[in-house]
Amino acid sequence: MRNQPIYSLSRRQLSSRWSWTYVLRNLLWIPLISLSLFFLTGCNGDDDDDFSNTGNTLSISDIQGFWMATSATFSGPEFIDLYEEPASITLSIQSNGRFTFMIKRPGEPDEVYTGKLGFDGDFLAVRFDGEDEDDSFFISLVNDILTLRGQTELDLDGDGDFDLGILELIMERN
């Protein structure tokens, strides 16, 4: 029976050959191997594959560098003019899309946000470190004036709770 092809076996031989033990021992490996291959090829450790360095009109190379805010507002549970206080707001963008966004206010600890930038058509995709989802920002660059506007979460009062709102930055290249 071992060397007989399956089409030449009788019904009785066939039913004993396809017993539950056979199914459990042999056929359950197929889904396990398939799942293993799926996870090995899907999780290669590079979570930046979905970022494009170029958009429809701008690219990371156009906006890389050091930027200083001339205007910064956050419209969340309440409207906050981030630049009203004597504050320093900077954005540093590296050629690989990594960024550091920093808000410095006198007498308060610096607020530092880091992450990765990329493009989705005309919009700037922003993934903050430690976050799984991207924020989408409108972006404009005219005569070295960078304007960013989009919905995001920031912890501006330092209480550990992030508030959802619209962040608008107008920045000059420094």
pTM: 0.67
Backbone angles phi, psi at 42, to 5 degrees: -85, -25
**Which pLDDT tens digits describe the chain residue by residue (174 residues)?**
555 554 454 555 555 555 545 545 555 545 545 544 444 444 444 444 567 898 889 999 999 999 999 998 889 888 888 777 677 999 999 999 999 999 888 888 888 999 999 998 889 999 999 988 888 899 999 999 999 999 988 877 778 888 889 989 999 998
